[in-house]
Each structure stands twice: as structure tokens, then as C-alpha cells.
């Protein structure tokens, strides 16, 4: 019987040393092969088009557009793409935004390597996977009215709020997301309307409280 092909993995993280370390962890496993790496959303999309990996292991915190935008773009190209978020963040708002964008799993970097391995195998099978700390964050989320407000926003609105709160200008956000300045302005207005916030300073404080500014 022919031996099964290894599971091909695209590893996305903006720190080369981190990618190198996790490549070693992943390739120490039988049946895993890291076929490409990327350090930002644009590279992740290009690598996905070129290599068509079985699974993408995606960080969220990157220069320019975040991993949320990379997930959205990859899933727009291929609705069957399987993506596991591997992030330092476990805030419920971030987790929900990732799943809304199209992620199939979410594991934090504080998890044991074995948890990452299990999650990769699960997401590759089409199952949903989350680490224990993410599960606890989601369980506590229902008690937090701040998160209920954030849930009124769509994934694109969350991404624009994140970039705005990080200090990017409307022109920079438009360039990062490949949309018009007018579209960014419209989303900015919608975020204010949905959250009930009146000023940009309030938006920044809201984003910080929800854990979005660290992405």
C-alpha cells in the first residue's frame, strides 16, 4: 500500500525566529511538511495560491493587514481552505472575529506543542479545534456586556476598527485592505453607529478594552 502523502502546511508569522522554531516542532511529527512560510497577509495569500497547502497555521499580529484579513482573503479564494489561528491572544472578541473570517480553529501560543499538533490534525479533518484557554475565554464572554457590543460588528468592521485604533490613517487603512477611502469612511461611521460611540477617542478606548489594539 502506498504511503499517505504528508500534510502540507503554510506557516504564517511575522517573526522569522518564531517560524523557524515552529517549523522544527511541526516537521518533527510524522506526516507533517511545512511547504511554505509567510510573514504578512499579502505573502500568506500569495503562498496559498502557489502551494495550495492542506492547512494554514496563521498568526494574527502582523505588520499592515492582520491575520484576520489574510484569513478572509484566502477563504474568499477557496471556501474549503482550512486555517488554524495560532496567536498570543485569547480574547473572545478576537477569537470570534477569526471564526467569522473563516478560521477552523484557534490555539494560543501559550499552549503546549501537543495542543497545536492535535489542533492541526483536527482542523485538517474539517473539525473545529480550540485550546483550553480559548474555551475559558469564550465561556466568560457571555457575562461581559462590552463583548455583546462588539458582537454587533462584522469582521471587516472589526479589522478597520483595529487599524484605526492602532493609529493608521484612513488612506493607510484603505491601502492595507485594498478598498477605497470612501469605503473606509463608511465603515468608520457604521462602527460608531453600531457601538453608540460618538468620538474617535471613545472608539480607541473601546478597541483597547476589547483587546483589539494588540493585534
Residue 1 reports pLDDT greater than 50: no
Domain that holds residue 135: 7-141
List the CATH number of the domain containing 203. 1.10.10.10
117 and 203 housed in the same domain:
no
**Is 0.75 surpassed by the pTM of this model?**
no
Q: pLDDT above 90 covers what percent of the chain?
A: 64
Q: Rounded to whole angstroms, how far apart are CA atoms 9 and 177?
A: 25
Q: pLDDT above 70 covers what percent of the chain?
A: 95
Residue 144's pLDDT band (cuts 50, 70, 90):
low
Residue 215 domain-assigned (yes or no):
no
Amino acid at each position: 500500500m502506498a504511503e499517505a502523502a504528508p500534510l502540507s502546511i503554510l506557516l504564517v508569522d511575522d517573526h522569522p525566529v518564531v517560524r523557524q522554531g515552529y517549523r522544527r516542532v511541526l516537521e518533527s511529527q510524522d506526516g507533517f511538511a511545512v511547504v511554505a512560510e509567510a510573514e504578512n497577509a499579502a505573502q500568506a495569500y500569495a503562498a496559498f495560491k502557489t502551494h495550495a497547502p492542506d492547512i494554514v497555521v496563521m498568526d494574527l499580529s502582523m505588520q499592515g493587514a492582520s491575520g484576520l484579513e489574510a484569513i478572509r482573503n484566502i477563504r474568499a479564494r477557496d471556501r474549503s481552505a482550512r486555517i488554524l489561528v495560532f496567536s498570543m491572544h485569547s480574547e473572545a472578541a478576537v477569537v470570534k472575529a477569526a471564526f467569522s473570517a473563516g478560521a477552523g480553529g484557534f490555539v494560543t501560543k501559550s499552549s503546549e506543542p501537543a495542543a497545536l499538533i492535535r489542533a492541526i490534525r483536527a482542523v485538517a479533518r474539517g473539525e473545529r479545534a480550540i485550546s483550553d484557554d480559548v474555551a475559558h475565554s469564550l465561556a466568560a464572554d457571555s457575562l461581559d456586556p462590552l463583548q455583546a457590543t462588539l458582537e454587533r460588528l462584522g469582521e471587516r468592521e472589526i479589522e478597520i476598527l483595529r487599524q484605526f485604533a492602532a493609529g493608521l490613517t484612513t488612506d493607510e487603512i484603505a491601502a492595507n485592505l485594498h478598498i477605497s477611502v470612501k469605503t473606509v469612511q463608511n465603515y468608520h461611521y457604521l462602527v460608531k453607529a453600531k457601538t453608540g460611540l460618538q468620538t474617535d477617542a471613545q472608539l480607541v478606548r473601546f478597541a483597547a478594552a476589547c483587546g483589539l489594539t494588540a493585534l
